[in-house]
Structure 1
Amino acid sequence: MLDKVFTNNQVTIAGEVVSDFTFSHEIYGENFFLVNIAVSRLSDSCDIIPVMVSDRLMDVKGDYKGCILQASGQFRSYNRHEETKNRLVLSVFAREVSFVEIPEGEQNPNHIFLDGYVCKKPVYRKTPLGREIADVLLAVNRPYGKSDYIPCICWGRNARYADQFEVGAHVQLWGRIQSREYQKKIDEEVYEKRVAYEVSVSKLEYLSEE
């Protein structure tokens, strides 16, 4: 059972370390830290992705900025309570980390596979330029009755396909993790810059309705 749970959420990313390690939390004497890495896109832009690392995996006190860190693990979520609302916080939970060299001209890896269940009716829309998009919120099981809630974006024919899914649909998808900046309205005249993380879907398969 645990093997299935560990294989339904698989991530491998590599990118340049662009921050120090900051303490996140402690569980049973094990300390976890967050570090941001910049993962390049084909468009020469990059996604800034937070990675959760245990201090048992590596020395988190070092300065690794500028190094290329590769992390394999799972894309996880938790709800952070802010004032009167809960905010979904996402990061890559690293099970393995290593420093690597990416050959010149090659793109840093950014791969994710998810096997989960649609927990909200997908939202299909078109951009002002006519590009088709569907937002899918996927619930992915993990041990001890917990789940991760992962926002996913489908494009084109995948968006039209996802628009047919009902709540509870069992699907598998492949894609990449991306970051996106947006402005959060705090009050009438104040906006706060925030970053959202989501999976950009390249392949999508429907398994069953449950």
Structure 2
Amino acid sequence: MSEKMIENNKVSVIGEVVTGFTFNHEVCGEGFYMMDIAVKRLSGQTDILPLMVSERLLDVHQDYSGSTIEALGQFRSYNHHEGVKNRLVLSIFAREVRFMEEFTDYTKTNQIFLDGYICKPPVYRRTPLGREIADILLAVNRPYGKSDYIPCISWGRNARYASSFEVGARVRIWGRIQSREYMKQLNGTESEKRIAYEVSISRMEEVGDYVG
């Protein structure tokens, strides 16, 4: 795998393990499992983030609940088919994992860098209190012709800047991964609580390369 491909999608998170392992899939005899980690924000709030790990990185038969770990890897997506619809499923794919005895610097618990392409027109809006927000969907290339589609949200001046991006524009983003609960309407009378994951942008720049 080329170093260039790895460099365009980098995640570093530090958090507390809050679930056991759930089998996800197997590739060439290697099993991959899901677990959740709780990552603190400076505000005191916590994001519960899904982490995908190989059975070759951790003993998936052990219970690590309550342990603090650092995971380095990539933010990845795949389409989950639900009837006639597709749902974008996101998780952190761990390439390295290590346990930490003590951790106090919460400014470094959650960092992500993405270098990708705008794949749909940005959606700019204002909240009822007047805060500016822009949503963008970034396609980040992976080896072997694959791409990850990462929803990102920007605020204030960044939101106004993002609203000018054209589809196909190459953009670099620095920020953090956050979780957000929402109610999904299933039919006319039923709804279901779900969790969405997105990148909250702290810094961004348009590179100038276009695809299309």
What SS does structure 1 have at the residue aligned with 2:65? coil
Would the aligned equivalents of 1:102 and 1:108 in 2 still touch at CA under 8 Å?
no
**TM-score normalised per structure 2:** 0.96
Q: Give 1:136-175 correspondences, 5 Å limit.
A: 136-175=136-175
**TM-score normalised per structure 1:** 0.97
What SS does structure 1 have at the residue aligned with 2:161? helix
1:42 matched residue in structure 2: 42
Alignment-mate amino acid for residue 145 of structure 2? G
Note the C-alpha offset of 1:105. Answer: 6.3
Question: Once the two structures are superposed, what CA deviation does each residue of 1:179-206 show, in whole Å capped at 9, x if it has no partner?
Answer: 0000000111111000000000000000
2:17 matched residue in structure 1: 17
1:123 matched residue in structure 2: 123
What SS does structure 2 have at the residue aligned with 1:6? helix
User: Percent same amino acid at aligned positions?
Assistant: 63
Q: For the aligned residues, what is the CA RMSD?
A: 1.2
Aligned residues: 210
Which structure 1 residue ranges, 5 or more long, are not aligned?
none
2:198 matched residue in structure 1: 198
Write the distance in 2 (CA, Å) between the matches of 1:165 and 1:108: 29
2:79 matched residue in structure 1: 79
Note the C-alpha offset of 1:103. Answer: 3.2
Write the distance in 2 (CA, Å) between the matches of 1:118 and 1:28: 33
What SS does structure 2 have at the residue aligned with 1:157? helix
Would the aligned equivalents of 2:110 and 2:176 in 1 still touch at CA under 8 Å?
yes
Alignment-mate amino acid for residue 156 of structure 2? G
What SS does structure 1 have at the residue aligned with 2:158? helix
Write the distance in 2 (CA, Å) between the matches of 1:106 and 1:128: 31
What SS does structure 2 have at the residue aligned with 1:144? helix
Write the distance in 1 (CA, Å) between the matches of 2:50 and 2:78: 13
Question: Once the two structures are superposed, what CA deviation does each residue of 1:137-164 show, in whole Å capped at 9, x if it has no partner?
Answer: 0000000000000000000000000000
CA 1:119 to 1:191, structure 2 compared with 1: closer, same or farther past 3 Å?
A: same
